[in-house]
Amino acid sequence: MPVVIAVFLPIALGIVMLGLGLSLTVADFVRVGRRPKAVIVVLICQFLVLPLVCLGLLTVFGTEPVLAAGMMLLMATPGGTAANLLSHLAGGDVAFNITLTAIASALSVAAFPIIANLSLRHFLGGGPEVGLGFDKVLQVTAVLLIPVAIGMTIRRWRPSFAARMRRPVKIASAVILVIVVALALIGDRGEAFTHLGEIGAVALLMGVVNLTIGYLVPRLLRVGPRQAISAAMEIGVHNATVAVTVALSPAMLNSPRMALGPGIYALEILIIAPVFAYLVGRPLRRAAAEPVAADA
């Protein structure tokens, strides 16, 4: 079983990131110049504010260190593929979502190892055996960056093929997420049931906090409502596949218990985010449904 997981997980994550690359173009990165303020606000929330908030919640709850480290791994990941769909359903700016995903995915290559290592050392001690060593950082970087680059290259030179493949790869990504979460829960069944209430409560609260901060902070800074909805989905719907893969993989952290938090969060956010999307999207839907006043 460990050999199967060691081979399957990196391949699975590679497929997920390939699918992300198929949906991106260089223009998605260039578009950041049109809304620099909004993008900067979202990225600061995603990679600085929310990891600190999560750290505070884990400390208040007194979460077991290994479980806490797993939640911090999740906070270091970019948005998941479901964020675009949920943003669309809520009336968000999907083009802005794609730009955020592109920038956040690029930044996470550097941010993920930093946040992961600081968190692991904080919760599990400072020994040299704790954390992601240089070789593991290279593995994480390769499995995040190379498939995205391949997907973008395919999109650039074979756009029709990329368009045909986008749907099958998205479906495969959803199936992979379910399998990876199942592996996380099955990998340490006894611990999963023992800590389900503890880590489930933290994950639920963190999901609500992520979505709320992701929406309210941009709105307070005068970012438009459609872009704020996109920000909330991008920040709330993390790419749990990355966190679970790094935690489970024998070549990386090899800790099924550490994968529990991200796995449970991935299940809970699929319930929380659609409800949140419906609530924040109501004013936009109401405004769109109102008849335009006739000219006098």
Q: What is the pLDDT of residues 40-69, one digit of tens each?
A: 888 898 888 999 999 999 999 888 888 898
Q: Please answer whether residues 235 and 101 qualify as being in contact, where contact means their C-beta atoms are separated by less than 8 angstroms.
A: no
Mean pLDDT along residues 126-155: 67
Name the residue with tokens 């949920």.
86
CB atoms within 10 A of CB 21: 23
* 53 alpha carbon, distance to own chain's centre: 16
The answer to whether the beta carbons of residues 123 and 65 sit under 8 Å apart is yes
Alpha helix (H) ranges present in 62-195? 65-75, 82-90, 94-124, 134-157, 159-187, 189-194
- The per-residue pLDDT for 207 is 92
Are 263 and 181 contacting, i.e. CB atoms less than 8 angstroms apart?
Answer: yes
- Residue 1 pLDDT level (bands cut at 50, 70, 90): very low
With contact defined as beta carbons under 8 Å apart, do 281 and 211 qualify?
no
CA dist list (Å): 197 to 46, 66, 192, 193: 26, 15, 9, 8
Q: What is the pLDDT of residue 212?
A: 93
Domains of the chain: 2-282 (1.20.1530.20)
Give tens-digit pLDDT for 156-200. Answer: 888 888 888 877 777 776 677 677 667 666 655 555 556 667 788
Q: What is the pLDDT averaged over residues 88-92?
A: 76
**CB-CB neighbours of 178 under 10 Å:** 11
pLDDT on residue 286: 66
Mean pLDDT calculated for residue range 1-22: 65
Higher pLDDT, 231 or 171: 231
Instruction: Tell which wins on pLDDT, 17 or 153.
Output: 153
HSE, CB side, 13 Å, CA atoms: give it for residue 29.
11
pLDDT value of position 32: 66
Q: What pLDDT, on the 0 to 100 scale, is given for residue 293?
A: 47
Nearest Cα to Cα of residue 280 among 229, 216, 238, 236: 229
Question: Residue 132's pLDDT is what?
Answer: 54
State pLDDT tens for residues 254-290.
787 888 888 889 888 888 988 888 888 776 666 656 6
pLDDT tens, position by position, 18-44: 777 777 777 766 766 777 888 888 889
Is the sign of the CA dihedral 9, 10, 14, 17 positive or negative?
positive
Q: Can you tell me the distance from the alpha carbon of 125 to that of 277, in angstroms, rounded to the nearest whole number?
A: 39
pLDDT of residue 117: 82
The pTM (predicted TM-score) of the whole model is 0.78
Q: What is the pLDDT of residues 92-138, one digit of tens each?
A: 787 787 788 778 877 877 788 888 888 888 888 754 444 555 565 66
Give the mean pLDDT of 129-156. Answer: 70
Instruction: Supply the pLDDT for residue 217.
Output: 92
